[in-house]
Amino acid sequence: LLKPGETFKIRTDDGGELVELVRTSQRDSALRLFREGDHFKVGKFRHFIEKRPSFVAATVRRSFPADARAAGLSEHLLKQLQGIVGKRLDLSTDLQPGASFTILFEEDFFSGEKIGDGDILAIDLVQQDRQFRVVGFRDSSGELRYYTPQGESLRPAFLRYPVRFDKISSRFNLSRRHPLLGVRRPHKGVDLAAPAGTPIRAVGDGVVQDVGWQSGYGKTIVLDHGRGYTT
């Protein structure tokens, strides 16, 4: 099945007979059909993607999305940008006419031809005397994270919820009546009800402190997130 954006390279001999066909179907792999003797062979291989830095810089005249597209920012990069700054800025309303922006990003090339855009590397947004600047840093796992010049991460320290739940079965309540004991006992937490087998995620980076069975909890994993925080 052919998909939009796929590229083909076809090589023929002097008589016009097919010698090789390369179909680039993904960002990091390709399918190769080539002639060997009187028959053809097919194979899949990983190709080298060359990363080249590029940037877009302009001034907002109408709206940021419209002017960013006009300056050459692709839909892929625009969505990526909104995902990076979305919790801090509303790009459609916070950047008024007169604001300037510079976006540094990677372009992906294969065999000297551009095949798409990669990751955003840095963002600089200026609205009058206010400046929003972010720089990307790739950690040891290869994940790109974004930080302000002061070293503040744009990524929340903790997820709001560790599980996709159906309802809150018991809320934080310092005067709650215990459902089994019938006495007033503070409930210093929030109980989330979900079907058995629902995946539970760590709310943030941490070190496993304990694994086992705890009375009142059942199967329990305790994570130490540092700075006095555990979950």
Instruction: Take residue 215 and report the two structure tokens written for it.
Output: 């009375």
| CA 117 – CA 76 distance, rounded (Å) | 7
In the DSSP assignment, the letter for residue 108 is E
Give Cβ neighbours of residue 114 (< 8 Å, ≥ 6 apart): 107, 108
Write down the pTM of the prediction: 0.56
| CA 57 – CA 166 distance, rounded (Å) | 45
Over its length of 231 residues, how does the chain's per-residue pLDDT go in tens digits? 667 767 778 888 888 888 888 777 655 667 778 888 888 888 876 767 789 999 999 999 999 999 999 999 999 999 999 888 877 888 888 888 999 999 999 998 877 778 788 999 999 999 888 899 999 998 887 888 899 999 888 876 677 788 888 888 888 888 888 878 888 888 888 899 999 999 998 888 889 999 999 987 889 999 998 878 899
